[in-house]
Structure 1
Amino acid sequence: MICFFTVYNQNKYLSTDINVSEITFGNIDAPVNIVLVTNPMCHYCKAAHADIENILNKYNNDVRVTIRFNVMTDEKTKLPYRIASALLAIYYDISPESCKESLSQIYKEGIDREKWLEKWSHLDIAKFDEVLEYEQKWCHQNAINFTPALLINGKQFPKEYDRSDLLFFIDKLSEKFIEESNVNKGQKLVKQYI
């Protein structure tokens, strides 16, 4: 695990906060914050979503997972944009659980995406344009030009490790981030009294 943290700590920190409501699963106050940057048409994103699903099934209380889409916002008629908008609409207008199921469906091998979209055609997807614009802008500003991209507490998951290994690191990551948070709180208290 020391080797993992050595490589992880060498990665540059990126602020993952943006001022829009995104698709989020797990515990909002969790010590481990995962951002998965994805595109509904990305073949490699299928495995990333399966990995995230496994993590949420095992560590739902220990992680917060944000799904961030990197889709072209000037191509509103194209499948990636329409699917991402529909997923946001499902999350906010129906339920997070329905969205989780829909994510699992859309990232399955051999899915008929047009048929999937027809099922959700009654939803108002246009109201999520701003969310997707903010997400794309964040990706551009942070040079996230590929999907899937996985960030853990603002740092990219080390390329030296297989993404599926993250499942085995959650306990240690949680301990590390809780410890760091407690140290930072202690330092702030000391500064207040100096």
Structure 2
Amino acid sequence: MRNYTVFKNNLVAAEQVEVHHGLVLGNPSSKKEIIFVTNPFCGHCEKAQKQMSNLLMIPDLDLRLVIQFSNDISNSDTEERDLCLQLVSIYLNAGPQKFLEAMNHWYELKDVKKWMEKYEGKLSENCESVLLQSYQWTLLANTFHTPTFFLNGYRYPKEFSRNHLEYFVMEFIDDESFS
């Protein structure tokens, strides 16, 4: 179903959550926000990552994309922990564009050792606390599956396929009631 009114009614029926941190891509001052809860080791997240990357390539798109990792690095294997720490460190040290490139390259390779050969570097002091905050936020938002999207704090409706997000995102951005 591609009816924006039905989509919006389902969207705003959910409880709204707030986010105060995360990895911000796109326009950081936009009033329209998509929170993307992801896990680099989640197979379904690869397609969602491509969706988000494609959105960010739209010229002059007035959208803030906030990445939240659902990875509990205190309870992760070494490869998962190292990859997540390095991704956040890339964001903190090199910025959103390099982070996005590194995320996309991860899904192309899906091989931690090969990926680390290209991207491993000195970890930022804050990367561990950023990942911990992100994980804690996913718990507070009752987000136990990835990928999950929130639009201006509202959980993406279960009645709609994640694939349909692209049909509604432009109307969401133009919808002044979300300002």
The two structures have a TM-score, normalised by structure 2, of 0.88
Q: CA deviation at 1:107?
A: 2.1
Q: SS of 1:71's equivalent? A: coil
1:46-102 CA-partner distances (Å, limit 9, x unpaired): 011011111111265311101111111214652222212111111221232211111
Corresponding position of 1:107: 107
CA distance in structure 2 between the aligned counterparts of 1:84 and 1:27, rounded to whole angstroms? 23
Structure 1, 40-49 or 153-162: larger mean CA deviation: 153-162
Corresponding position of 1:173: 172
CA distance in structure 1 between the aligned counterparts of 2:36 and 2:121, rounded to whole angstroms? 27
Aligned ranges 1:114-133 → 2 under 5 Å: 114-125=113-124, 127-133=126-132
Q: Which runs of 5+ in 2 are unaligned?
A: none
Structure-2 change in CA distance of 1:59 and 1:80 (3 Å): farther
CA distance in structure 1 between the aligned counterparts of 2:145 and 2:65, rounded to whole angstroms? 19
Percent of aligned pairs with the same residue? 24
Structure 1, 133-142 or 74-83: larger mean CA deviation: 74-83
Q: SS of 1:151's equivalent? A: strand
Structure-2 change in CA distance of 1:164 and 1:54 (3 Å): farther
Which structure has the larger Rg over C-alpha atoms? 1
CA distance in structure 2 between the aligned counterparts of 1:73 and 1:102, rounded to whole angstroms? 19
1:151-190 CA-partner distances (Å, limit 9, x unpaired): 11001111222223222222211222x3443xxxxxxxxx
Give 2:13's aligned amino acid: Q
Structure-2 change in CA distance of 1:29 and 1:97 (3 Å): same
The 8 Å contact of residues 49 and 104 in structure 2, kept in 1 or not, is answered as: yes
The 8 Å contact of residues 31 and 178 in structure 2, kept in 1 or not, is answered as: no
- Find out whether 1:134 has 2:137 as its counterpart: no
Corresponding position of 1:15: 18
Root mean square deviation, CA, Å: 1.9
Name the structure, 1 or 2, with higher relative contact order (CA <8 Å, separation 6+).
2
CA distance in structure 2 between the aligned counterparts of 1:59 and 1:137, rounded to whole angstroms? 33
The 8 Å contact of residues 34 and 149 in structure 2, kept in 1 or not, is answered as: yes
The 8 Å contact of residues 37 and 69 in structure 1, kept in 2 or not, is answered as: yes
The two structures have a TM-score, normalised by structure 1, of 0.82
The 8 Å contact of residues 138 and 144 in structure 2, kept in 1 or not, is answered as: yes
Q: Which runs of 5+ in 1 are unaligned?
A: 182-194
